[in-house]
Structure 1
């Protein structure tokens, strides 16, 4: 929901750093993989209840995730890069609830499982829409610069990162945050299912190659 407002600001702020990295020949794919590895370091940190270290790993990982896109736009985006970026993003987000479950299985295992199930809903609806949109030659008016069709929703990257930050800052309330965010993810999944049902319906073939996401 907030990505469309925050991402342009992030893009401007990171542009000098991205330009410097591109001049030095740093590849966007290398930044993607490095950010993913750093993000995975949050899992053992969470399991050991080192929440400050986990938060640092999460934030640094997301910084690399923002930088890889900025560098890719300068060097020329690739389909492989888009594939790698979205795959590792979903793997990263799914790993964080695991870390909290390992930290306190008795209290956190069920909320973590609920959150992972909710992530499956948002992720599957997002990717399924992107596959059919690509087949139809559609492109997003909201995120035209993305390598795949980015379907909007109540819970996007900004909201997910904010939720993970709150979980690390207040680990004793993880169960509450996880259940609330899982509910928000359910809303996202349902709205995306409706969008797919409408956009890909029998009467949608004549709509053209571009479509908005507020239909």
Structure 2
């Protein structure tokens, strides 16, 4: 919901940081992989109930994730290479899912009854449906001329649950793990609504004639 506004406000600062780290051995893909590694580390730390370190690793992970695009654009690759865009979105989904599992293990425990896992399973299901909706749209939109070009590698349909909200919620349950199940319950509902909105919007968009016809 806030991604477009935040991108406009952060474009300048992120471009500045990208300029500072622009060295031959620093590549957009390496930033993406480093961000993924820190995301997985955050999930592991959360599972071990090391909440402060998990939060730090999570925020550093997302910072690196935000820098791969500006660095790619600085080097004249436009919205990034197809391979880089693929790697980026895949890394995001792995980091998001792993963090949900890590927080669940750290708060309710791996051997907890299924009922205590339900809020986190609901988040994973909502992520699955939401991701399917926008990735399927992006693939078909690219082929049919309905592409949404906002500078990113994929065509992103807007929603109330986007990257900024995900970073905030994942930070929140690392800050207050005692309330993580309640946060997960609310968040699953928000992501579910966002998924439904994307399904309807994507269907309506693809029913319209292609802008090129």
Normalising to structure 1: TM-score of the pair? 0.90
Return 103-112 or 5-14, whichever deviates more: 103-112
Q: Give yes or no for contact 1:108–1:174 (8 Å, CA) kept in 2.
A: no
Q: In the TM superposition, what is the alpha-carbon distance from 1:115 to its structure 2 partner?
A: 0.7
For residues 160 and 209 of structure 1, do their structure 2 counterparts lie closer, same or farther at Cα, with a shift above 3 Å needed?
farther
CA contact (8 A) 1:79 1:147 kept: yes
**Within the alignment, does 1:38 sit opposite 2:41 as a pair?**
no
Aligned to 1:8: 8
Q: Give aligned pairs, total.
A: 205
- RMSD value, Cα: 1.6
- Determine if the alignment matches structure 1 residue 99 to structure 2 residue 107: no
How far 1:111 moved relative to its partner?
1.3
Q: Give the Cα–Cα distance (whole angstroms) in 2 for the partners of residues 161 and 193 of structure 1.
A: 23
TM-score (norm 2): 0.91
Over residues 10-65 of structure 1, what are the superposed CA-to-partner deviations in whole Å (9 max), with x where a residue is unaligned? 22112122012224452100100011001100111111111111100110000000
- Runs of 4+ in structure 1 off by over 6 angstroms are none
Q: State the distance in 2 between where 1:98 and 1:179 align.
A: 14
Within the candidate set 86, 91, 109, 2:89 is matched to: 86
- Cα gap change, 1:63 to 1:200, in 2 (>3 Å): same
Aligned to 2:129: 121
Write the distance in 2 (CA, Å) between the matches of 1:24 and 1:108: 48
Q: Deviations over 1:49-84 (max 9, x none)?
A: 111111001100000000111101112121100000
SS of residue in 2 equivalent to 1:139: coil
2:123 is aligned with 1:111: no
Structure 2 unpaired stretches of 5+: none
Q: Which residue of 2 aligns with 1:213?
A: none
What is the distance in 1 between the residues matched to 2:125 and 2:5? 28
Structure 2 partner of 1:185: 191
